[in-house]
Amino acid sequence: MKKIMKKFLSSLLALTMILSLVIVPANAATTVGATGSFTISGPTTASEGDTVSFSITNPKITYNGTDYAATVSNYQWTGLGDSVTANTETYSGTVGNQNLSINCTVTLNATVGSGESATQVTVENSTLTTAKSVIVTTKQAAFEAAVKQATVTYKGRTYSFNNSTSVTIDKFSADSETLSAEDLRLNVTGYNSAVITKNGYNWAVKSSSAADALSVSVTVNYTPVTGQTLSISGTGVTASGDNYAATVYSGQSLKLTASYARTGSKSVGYAWSSTPAGATLNNTDSQTSTFIAPDVNANTIYTVTCIAKEGSSESIRKTVTITVKPDPYSPSRNGEDATKTIATNNSASCTIAAPVLKSTNDTVYYQSSNTANFDITWAVKSGSNLINTPTKNSNGSATVTAKSSAKSGTAVVTATITYMGKQYPALDYTVDISALDVKLSSIVNGDSDSYRQSDIQDKLADAIKKQDSSFRYNNVNTITVVGTPSRVTLKDGKTTLSNGSSVTDGFTIYADEAYIGDASFQLKVNNNYVVTMYLTVDSKGEIKDTVTGTSAGKSVTFTNSDYDYLYIYEGSTSFKSDMYNGDWSRTSYAPRSWKPVAQNKDYTVSSSAFDRNGKATLYVVAVDDDIASTGTITVSQKSYDINYNVVAGKSVTFNQKDFESFLEDYAEDNGNYNPKKDEITFDHAVLTSSIPSAKSEGTLYYGSTEITSSNKSKTDMTDMDKVSFDSVSKPSKDTVTLTFRVYGEIEKPNSRKPDKVNYDVNVVISVVKEDIVYTVGIDDTVQLTARDFVNFLQDAKTSYRKAELDYVKFDVSGKNVSSYAYGGLYRSYSSYSTGKLADSTDKFYYEPSRTQYDLADVAYHTTRWAEAGKTVYIPFTVYGTKNEEASGTMAITIAQTMNFIDVKASDFFYEPVKWAVNNKITNGTSSTTFSPYKNCNRAEIVTFLWRAAGSPEPTSTRNPFTDVNSVRDASYYKAILWASQKGITAGTNATTFSPYQECTRSQIVTFLYRYAGKPSGYYSNPFKDVSSVNEASYYNAILWAVGKGITQGTSTTTFSPYASCTRGEAVTFLYRYVNGVK
């Protein structure tokens, strides 16, 4: 305890000593030998009105040559005004308009040493003062400084005061004579409200519009500009002084570039314009603008004006006089062959010389250094499976290379010249690929085809002859098999031919089972030529099955009950016919995108797979007994829709039984009706959807009452047989959907009152557009007229008026297009040669090559079971040579077979009469006679021609003929007016037509010649009774008709121009013209 007390007293003593050293009286004197210092921290400059703040930093005491950090007390601040003093660590206040001198006096204390030897050193405030100077900028001075850095903007041009109180603004001739303050937009940094003012000739800039705002007088100089220049350049642009001129041809473009210069220019811009209207001018607000010349028939002057602007002020303008001339140039192959050949055993490529542009007096060639003005684009038009994209060489020519896998065939390459921005029509070059190969007839998988030795030798010789013109059939000495055949087996009797086997007695080709696609094998001739024989292994037949579900809007499940295996395409990419190709003999070989379904197994089509019409198309491959077939299964959800068809411009009548059946079917499916116990009756129906558009769709009637938006809800339709829909002739949509609410009553056993029900049903009216119409008899053929499809393309759009038809595709997938009950569309059909049925992928060309299908050969042939009055609708799409495309529907109406007793199949006019009757150009003179040898009168002839032209309306109702009456002669009145207005005939004199005068042979061919547009051409004259002098009015017509095969004369040397023309002759001439002349 004593030790603890002793230790406590010692600590207390030590603490007392320490405190005695630290505590210093407030008025302690400065320690002898000690000096102090500190720094005043704060701004050295300030602006009037600023709030400033100062504080002490780095206080220290120097004692005996050593610096010690000091503590600060007793602050005495001055300098922020007479009344502003402070005894605080921080000194703050507002700056006035005078410079500042900030003073501070403080007392500093520091501890020197430590422990028992520590000493307190003091420098008291009476001896320690520090000052800090602050330069003050007044508000006026600050504003004046800001004004010297200000800018003003005038008409989009910005000018600076450039560290002065003076600014110079450019004056252009189009600017106002004097400036006002309102013309200028001022920008003074830090003074957002600053304004510029003008009082007389005195200008000032003020900090705001307030009366006491700061103000600085300024000088604004408004000085006219001089020295600006503008020049225009471009290909072929010439300058003569200030005038510029150029010449271009129709459709070409001319790039014009403006160059403007002026010392001190600001915000330079350009504005281009062209007069008169007609030309196109692009980039009219850029330094470079492009003039695109319109099509002209004669030299036309256009003036292009370029205005150079600074801001929005016009500085200077120049004009270019451009003469647009009719384009004399057309693309030319310049002597290069239009057909090139690549023999794959010798060379894999060929070179096509660069085409040129030619006029009567000039030729423009390709120059690699000037492709901006003249360039050639090479492309593959067809045959991309045979050749690669052409490579353009430095001289503009193209190198065309055959693909390594190319077979013999034909490709088409195009060269398109672009000159002065104008793209000229492409030139076609045919590239024949001559490979040592032979295309054999296709074989159904699992089937076979036999070839005699002589057949094989013929085919091999033909293949070799393509590359060795001297090779002949009898040059084939030995034939051996090379390698292993792909997807086929070759047999000589029962002996399988393999690599090295000799072919001496023909062979049979056996196609692999359950395989679809390409197959090939190679034969070596005379131990020298290796010839590839290739063929297509086809599916056995086309599957066209249908499945209908039992519910609306739900998935549909069906069972594969017919095939060993059914493969169903489930890929995400659009289906193409070549996706059927492959080995289907095992499920493991099938592509992953195909789902195999074994026999008696189910397959479900999800509800999401159906389109808005509740249909889904499944692409399938079916394998049965190791043989593969392909096709589609159309799966339909159950639909309650009531469907009708109507021809555009005609009417369709509803059927009461359709609505009664719907009511019964829907009520039963929804559990409201038991057909075994209940009775259901139709009461009425009401239209609930919008009424159809009378302009673009058609009109709905109940009896004779038109259904309108105002009466539809009030019209209870109790007899649906009285409902009809009249379609407009040119509908905007292919279908019209109307929704009806059908009301009915269900009587149940032991029920006092019947249950009232109502259900909604859609009536879907499909509108068929009969764009091209043909008529054909039963067990008869109608040939399609190629010109009909040309007219359809050219009428499809205004921009297609001059379109040229390339090819047509027909959609033959429709239910009745190919059937025993109707007939079929054939690639060709005649009494002596029948082609295959057309396929939806076939292309029928207007001007076919030797390997392409001819549109003029296509025919529809009806079966003997066809029913008169039925119509087959075949959708088609026409394609132009410049990528034009239009779709329509061809209607083929089956008419009663021609049964005229005076027209025999052996008669030269048999086909023409059949064509004329089927196309409603003329009828018989009775139900059983045509009277082919009866003479035709003039009225009959022009009526035949008018009907063949489509019975067009006359362009004017004015009738110049006194012997033609609109009432009495109604059957041919419009035909005569039309023929007169078209210049086909002018009448027998100015006021008479002589409709009943017999028509001569010369008159009818003259009518046809004029209708055809008086085509030019050289034809020799074989007739002694036709003179260019005596028969001058119809001389060219007769020669044209004979040259075109429309008539052959009455003998080899006579035409009999004045002989009467019979009805048989008239329809024959017309038939040959329409069907034989493109």
pLDDT tens digits for range 309-366: 999 999 999 999 999 999 999 999 999 999 998 887 656 899 999 999 999 889 999 9
Q: CATH class for domain 2-135?
A: mainly beta
Percentage of the residues of the chain whose pLDDT score is greater than 90: 53
**Range of weakest confidence among 318-327, 828-837, 893-902:** 828-837
Give the pLDDT confidence score for residue 130 in this predicted structure: 81
Q: Is the pLDDT of residue 957 over 50?
A: yes
Give the pLDDT confidence score for residue 745 in this predicted structure: 95
Q: Domain 335-431 belongs to what topology?
A: Immunoglobulin-like (2.60.40)
Determine the Cα–Cα distance for residues 771 and 757; give it in Å rounded to an integer. Answer: 43
- Share the mean pLDDT of the chain: 88
Q: Write the pLDDT tens digit of every residue in 255-299.
A: 999 999 999 999 999 999 999 999 999 999 999 999 999 999 999
pLDDT confidence tier of residue 22, bands split at 50, 70 and 90: very low
Q: Is the pLDDT of residue 13 over 60?
A: no
Average pLDDT of the residues in 99-127: 86
Q: Domain 229-325 belongs to what topology?
A: Immunoglobulin-like (2.60.40)
**Range of weakest confidence among 314-328, 434-448, 744-758, 1002-1016:** 1002-1016
Give the pLDDT confidence score for residue 82 in this predicted structure: 62
Q: Is the pLDDT of residue 126 over 70?
A: no
**Range of weakest confidence among 171-175, 193-197, 253-257, 1008-1012:** 1008-1012
Q: Is the pLDDT of residue 992 over 80?
A: yes
Domain 772-894, classified CATH 3.40.50.11540, yes or no = no
Q: Is the pLDDT of residue 1068 over 60?
A: yes
For residue 727, what are the contacts with CB-CB under 8 A and spacing of at least 6? 646, 647, 648, 649, 650, 651, 652, 697, 698, 736, 765, 767
Pick the CATH number of 542-636 from 1.10.357, 3.30.70, 2.60.40, 3.40.50: 2.60.40
Burial class (CB within 10 angstroms; exposed 0-12, middle 13-18, buried 19+) of 327: buried
Q: Is the pLDDT of residue 19 over 50?
A: no
Give the pLDDT confidence score for residue 83 in this predicted structure: 61
Determine the Cα–Cα distance for residues 709 and 193; give it in Å rounded to an integer. Answer: 63
**Range of weakest confidence among 451-465, 803-817, 986-1000, 1006-1020:** 1006-1020
Q: Is the pLDDT of residue 194 over 50?
A: yes
Q: Is the pLDDT of residue 842 over 70?
A: yes
Higher pLDDT, 1012 or 230: 230
pLDDT confidence tier of residue 920, bands split at 50, 70 and 90: confident
Average pLDDT of the residues in 399-404: 91
Average pLDDT of the residues in 995-1004: 88
Give the pLDDT confidence score for residue 831 in this predicted structure: 60
Residue-wise DSSP of 449-474: EEE-HHHHHHHHHHHHHTT-TT--GG
Give the pLDDT confidence score for residue 625 in this predicted structure: 93
Q: Is the pLDDT of residue 839 over 90?
A: no
Q: Is the pLDDT of residue 415 over 90?
A: yes
For residue 861, what are the contacts with CB-CB under 8 A and spacing of at least 6? 776, 780, 781, 823, 824, 826, 829
Average pLDDT of the residues in 628-647: 90
Give the pLDDT confidence score for residue 84 in this predicted structure: 60
Query: Domain limits of the chain?
Result: 2-135, 141-224, 229-325, 335-431, 437-538, 542-636, 643-768, 772-894, 915-1076
Give the pLDDT confidence score for residue 844 in this predicted structure: 94
Asked, colleague to colleague, whether 335-431 and 542-636 share their fold, the answer is yes
**Cis bond leading into 224, ω under 30°?**
no
Q: Is the pLDDT of residue 933 over 80?
A: yes
The number of C-alpha atoms within 13 Å of 861 and in the hemisphere containing its C-beta is: 17
Give the pLDDT confidence score for residue 897 in this predicted structure: 66
Average pLDDT of the residues in 631-637: 91
Give the pLDDT confidence score for residue 980 in this predicted structure: 87
List own/partner pairs for 980-986 with CB under 8 A and 24 or more apart: 981/954, 981/955, 981/956, 982/1010, 982/1011, 983/1010, 984/942, 984/945, 984/1010, 984/1011, 985/938, 985/942, 985/1010
Give the pLDDT confidence score for residue 346 in this predicted structure: 57
- Kindly state the helix (H) or strand (E) to which residue 667 belongs, with its residue range: helix 656-669
Give the pLDDT confidence score for residue 479 in this predicted structure: 96
Higher pLDDT, 404 or 300: 300
**Range of weakest confidence among 274-283, 669-678, 817-826, 844-853:** 817-826
Q: Which CATH number does 437-538 carry?
A: 2.60.40
Q: Write the pLDDT tens digit of every residue in 37-54.
A: 999 999 999 888 889 999
Burial 502-517 (b: 16+ CB within 10 A, else e): ebeeebebbbbbbbbb
pLDDT confidence tier of residue 622, bands split at 50, 70 and 90: very high
